[in-house]
């Protein structure tokens, strides 16, 4: 078993979680089913050759870092043709499937509250 999630293969963990939508897709029917989720985490841990707690801990750290990286991307203003730069974090592309689930949709326009 790995200790403190340090030896968990991050690419494998991301891949295993990605294929199990109930772990990250809040609209999935099993998302709030604790028994089903625990069983799925057991599958992920077995595939990654680590404990459930290590898999969960490493996933939390990856997801938190992904959230930070997404928030670094500047929100384009209305009519701005330029595309924002992509973060250089090595797991960004692999974790992009989480984009709509970790950061609320942000829009920026000309109008502000009260005007």
Predicted confidence (pLDDT) per residue in 46-87, tens digit: 999 999 999 999 999 999 999 999 888 777 666 655 556 677
CA distance 95 to 91: 6
| 52, 105, 109 from 113: Cα distances, Å | 46, 18, 11
pTM: 0.76
Average pLDDT for the chain: 82
What are 103's two structure tokens?
Answer: 């950061």
């Amino acid at each position: 078993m790995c200790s403190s999630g340090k030896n968990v293969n991050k690419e494998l963990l991301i891949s295993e979680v990605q294929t199990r939508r109930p772990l990250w897709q809040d609209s999935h029917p099993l998302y709030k089913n604790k028994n089903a989720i625990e069983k799925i985490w057991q599958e992920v841990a077995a595939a990654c050759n680590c404990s459930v707690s290590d898999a969960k801990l490493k996933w939390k750290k990856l997801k938190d870092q992904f959230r930070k990286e997404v928030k670094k991307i500047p929100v384009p203003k209305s009519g701005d043709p330029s595309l924002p730069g992509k973060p250089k974090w090595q797991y960004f592309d692999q974790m992009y499937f989480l984009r709509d689930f970790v950061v609320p949709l942000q829009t920026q326009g000309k109008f502000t509250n009260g005007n």
